Amino acid sequence: MLYDASRSGQLAEPAFEPGHWHGRGSLEEVAGGRGTVAFVRDGDRRWVLRHYRRGGAVARLLDDRYLWTGEDRTRSFREWRLLHALHQAGLPVPAPVAARYVRSALTYRADLVTEELPTRLTLARALANAPLEPDRWRGIGRVIGRLHAHGVRHADLNAHNLLLAGDGAVYVVDFDRGRFEARGGWERDVLDRLHRSLAKVTARLPPERWTDGDWKALLEGVAAA
C-alpha cells in the first residue's frame, strides 16, 4: 500500500473495498466502465475508489489481472506517484489518497483512491446537454497545454476524462499509463485522440454541439498555454 497520511489518516485495507463503505452507509454511487468507480462519503472525506480493469479483447481473459513486473511498475503505484507530482505542481488533477496492489503469483490486482473533485460533469455529458462557448473551449485547451508544458503525456485523453466545473474550472482525470516525457510529436497524438473522441460522442447530436470553430478555439487555448 502507498498512501498520503495527511489525507487519509490511518488507512486499512478495507478502505479500498466498496463493500466496506456500503456497510457503513457511506457508499454514494458506483459507476461502470472499464475501471469500476465508487464514490464514497465519510464525514468530511469525499473519495473516489477505482478498481483497475483491462479493456479490449484481453479483458475477456484477464479481466482485472496484470502481469507482475515489480512493485514500482504496478499501475496503481505509478498513477499515484504521477498524480502526486502533478497536484504538487498545482495542475488541475485529483489529489491522490492511496494506492494498493494485491499480488498473486505472476499477476496482481490494483486499486486507487483519490479525493473527489468539485464536479462530476464530463465534457461528453456537457455536450449532450448544450453547446459550449468559445471561451470554454479555450479554457479546456489551456489546461491541456499546461499539462504538455509540464511534459505530461496523458495516455487516453478523451471527452470523458475532462471534467467541467460551474465556475469555469477544467479538471483532467484518469492518468493510468500516463507519464512524463520530453515534449514532441506525442502532443499531437494526444490531441488527435481527443478529436476522435469528440467526433464519436457528438456523432448523433445536433451539429452545433461541436464545430470546427470549437476545435479551433481549443487549439488556441493549447497554444496560449
Cα–Cα distance, 107 to 75 (Å, whole number): 12
Cα–Cα distance, 133 to 138 (Å, whole number): 9
Q: What is the pLDDT of residues 11-57, one digit of tens each?
A: 889 999 999 999 999 998 887 655 479 999 988 889 999 999 987 66
Q: What is the pLDDT of residues 133-175, one digit of tens each?
A: 999 999 999 999 999 999 999 999 999 999 999 999 999 999 9
- Catalytic one among 63, 64, 72, 156? 156
What structural domains does the chain harbor?
2-115 (3.30.200), 123-224 (1.10.510.10)
What dihedral angle (degrees, nearest 10) is formed by the CA atoms of 189, 192, 196, 202? 140
Q: For the residues of 106-162, what is the DSSP string, one character each?
A: TEEEEEEEEEPPS---BHHHHHHH----HHHHHHHHHHHHHHHHTTEE-SS--TTSE
pLDDT of residue 202: 98
pLDDT of residue 225: 92
Helix (H, G, I), strand (E, B) or coil at 39: strand
Q: Which three cell numbers stand for residue 147?
A: 499539462
Helix (H, G, I), strand (E, B) or coil at 225: coil
- 135 as an active site residue: the answer is no
Sign of dihedral through CA atoms 205, 208, 209, 210? positive
CA separation, residue 17 to residues 47, 118, 129 (Å): 12, 23, 33
At residue 73, what are phi and psi to the nearest 5 degrees? -105, 5
pLDDT of residue 11: 83
Among candidates 195, 199, 127, which has minimal Cα distance to 163?
Answer: 127
Cα–Cα distance, 126 to 162 (Å, whole number): 10
Single-letter code of the amino acid located at 73? R
Cα–Cα distance, 19 to 135 (Å, whole number): 42
**Is the whole model's pTM more than 0.85, yes or no?**
yes
Adjacent-strand bridge partners of 29 = 39
Among candidates 14, 69, 8, which has minimal Cα distance to 44?
Answer: 8
Residues 163, 164, 167: CA angle, nearest 5 degrees: 145
Q: What is the pLDDT of residues 80-125, one digit of tens each?
A: 999 999 999 999 999 999 999 999 999 999 999 999 999 999 999 9
